[in-house]
Chains A and B, each alone.
Chain A
Amino acid sequence: MTAGVARPISGLVPSIPSAAQAAFEDVVVAYRERTVLRGVSLAIAPGERVALAGPNGAGKSTLLRVLAGLVVPRSGRAFLGGDPVDSLDRPAIARRLAAVPGQVTFPFSARVEEVVALGRLPHEDPFRGPRVADRAAVDAAMSRVGIDRLRGRDARELSLGERQLVLVALAVAQAAPLLVLDEPTAHLDLRHQVAVMELLADLNARDGTTILAVLHDLTLARHFFPRLVVLDGGRVVADGPPSAVLTRERVRSVFGVDVALTGGPGSVADAATPAAGPAAADAAVTAGAR
């Protein structure tokens, strides 16, 4: 057993909701046939970078949607910036939370900068439209994300990786303190996967943006995120640094797959090196345990 097993943290939530960028308090989400979330409690402090992992159907996407106010829990509450989500109207939520969707379709051709400009919607004057400040924000977001070279291109003609970067730029332009991503690296090639991850780390480190990302790729989660929350069957089963959370036993019990872990946290070689021997992995994990 490792020392990194997550303690239940529900006791934290009621006492410091105002300090949390986002928080869930015993959230239960159920539909007629099944219960998706069975009492999830979680707090995310400002400036954190958190990855959310778990098998399909664990409820990760649902958790994000509860936070965004798109799904109403049967019981329990979610908080954004200290306020209950159900007390906020959509524009207020949009000012606190920016979401990057997995993929979108464009029914009409649109230039990259026009797509990014959509991120300013919550800030625009409803009648007069974008102002100079909004346009400046769009430019800044595009530079920040590094897609200046895509300016003027039709968004529909971009590769999936480039599109994802555009969507991230849209969320950056939205200038919300919390950035939420649902599987941002699905369908991306390795280079773009790493690019997105490094961008998120950069946004978090330099701008202080709080990041909450649902990831399937455990390797990426382990490498780029200091905190990993594992959901299984609608419950939080682990919450902590990846080295503590992602043990071979846990991966086997949650995901049903036997894996070998190589390297330790922060190792750049993670993504490319083949699995080392089990003994070395165990040693690395123990060494990295908090």
Chain B
Amino acid sequence: MTIGGRSLALSRVRLRRPAGAPRPAALALFGIAVLATVVVLGVAAGSVAIAPGDTIGIVLRALGLPVERTWAAAAETIVLELRLPRVLTALVVGAGLAVAGATFQGLLRNPLADPYVLGTASGAALGAAIAVLIPIRVALLDLGLLNVLAFAGGLAAVAVVYRLGRGGPFAPLTGLLLTGYAVGSLLAAGLAMTMYLSGANLRQIFAFLLGGLEGSSWLRLAIAAPLVVGGSIAILARARALNGLLLGEEAAAHLGVDVGRERGILLGLATLVTAAAVAVSGLIGFVGLVAPHLVRLVVGPNARHVLPLAALLGAVLLVLADLLARLLGEIPVGVVTAVIGAPFFLALLRSARGGYEL
């Protein structure tokens, strides 16, 4: 190939890496190892003491390996039906939130963006609150009305924001952000009113708002995981567009990115992932904000590296947070992520070189 008429001797040009920065591939392997460890920890710990050896044995036996049964049937039920789906749900939700957070941050060019920035949180919460108030007990495939309306609410909120945020005097990104804030506030007011009217149901709505993985089951995982994982992979496939947006929408257009189309697609995918995560686990904060930042600190802003590594980190974070939440007496996992995430984020801000330009 040539640049302006001059050909290059390809064989002699090598990418020079700054000293000290680990390769993304090595980081990914490390991340997978950490994740595996954390998953085992998560499955081994709980309010009923089960020997770690038994835990591993139960899982191996379930996978079809010939392991002798040395445990009670109850232990098997606990590990396979209660803990394993819960830990795997934490894994999927954590990864999804991190990917969605990274996408919104890149799309909106705003380091403060998280998966809920365009109103997903308020929409899902309002949907869940309405579901709690409706005196119908509906359950299809282990998904109650709450999960379905939370999912629908999250999607609907962003759809409204997208429609309203376009046009108008502001640049498209600014318009989206501002509209997201306005619509989110409106929905939050609706939520507050619903909570006020909820009476005895307040606790259930609150539990959703604080986020929790107690309701995890294989069936819910089977429904949420394809959405989260599929959406995340689809986003990763569009990493190029996300990279192009680093310098702004106009620069991205000059680099060959169909900005309007990519913005809509990325927004839709990220919202889908977020809504699916929220539908099964409520509003868990900070994972989607912190994980992408941490990863960018080490590997830079290249979305091709940030997205998968953030997914790994998000999964690890949430599995650990859920473990902690369980051991501390089933406090809501959203509280744990906030208590850990907020000070960490503050430290991050202080150490970040040069601050952020918005």
Chain A interface residues (CB < 8 Å from chain B): 68-70, 89-91, 93-95, 97-99, 101, 104-111, 114-115, 118-119, 121-122, 124, 126-127, 129, 132-133, 135-137, 139-141, 144, 151-152, 154, 156-157, 172-175, 177, 203, 206-209
Contacts and interface: CB of A to CB of B under 8 A. Distances in A.
B255 A121 contact: yes
Contact of A154 (B6, B243, B257, B354): B354
Contacts of A95: 256
A115 to B, nearest CB: 8
Top-5 shortest CB links A-B: A207-B4, A94-B256, A122-B256, A91-B256, A136-B13
Contact of B4 (A114, A124, A132, A203): A203
Contacts of B302: 114
Contacts of B239: 129
Contact of B357 (A105, A132, A151): A105
7 contacts: A106-B247, A107-B111, A107-B358, A127-B237, A135-B13, A172-B4, A207-B6
Interface in B103-119: 105, 109-111
Contact of A133 (B10, B105, B304, B353): B10
A110 B4 contact: no
A70 B250 contact: yes
A122 B353 CA distance: 30
A96 to B, nearest CB: 10
A277 B247 CA distance: 46
B354 A104 contact: no
A104 B10 CA distance: 31
B109 A107 contact: yes
Nearest to A94: B256
Contacts of A209: 4
A157 B353 CA distance: 9
Chain B interface residue bracket vs A = 35 or more
Interface of B: 1-6, 8, 10, 13, 15-16, 18, 105, 109-111, 237, 239-240, 243-244, 246-248, 250-251, 253-258, 296, 300-302, 304, 352-354, 356-358
Nearest to B251: A101
Given A70-B253, A118-B243, 7 more contacts: A97-B254, A101-B248, A101-B250, A107-B109, A108-B296, A132-B13, A172-B4
Contacts, number: 135
Contact of A121 (B1, B2, B5, B240): B240
A136 to B, nearest CB: 4
A90 B253 contact: yes
Nearest to A127: B237
Contact of B1 (A101, A133, A206): A133
Contacts of A135: 13, 15
A93 B8 CA distance: 24
B35 to A, nearest CB: 23
A110 B13 contact: no
A184 to B, nearest CB: 14
A243 B4 CA distance: 29
B247 A118 contact: yes
Given A121-B255, A121-B256, A137 B357 contact: no
Contact of B254 (A99, A106, A114): A99
A89 B259 CA distance: 12
B353 A104 contact: no
Contact of A122 (B8, B110, B255): B255
Most buried by A among B111, B240, B257: B240
B248 A105 contact: yes
Nearest to A133: B1
Nearest to A122: B256
Contact of B304 (A68, A101, A129, A154): A129
A140 B251 contact: no
A126 B109 contact: no
Contacts of B4: 172, 175, 177, 203, 206-209
A174 B244 CA distance: 12
A106 B246 contact: yes
Contacts of B258: 89-90
Nearest to B356: A107
Contact of B301 (A108, A127, A157): A108
Nearest to A139: B13
Nearest to A69: B253
B167 to A, nearest CB: 13
B250 A93 contact: no
A151 B16 contact: yes
Given A107-B357, A208-B5, A68 B253 contact: yes
Contacts of B254: 68, 94, 97-99, 101
Nearest to B109: A107
Contact of B8 (A91, A98, A137, A208): A137
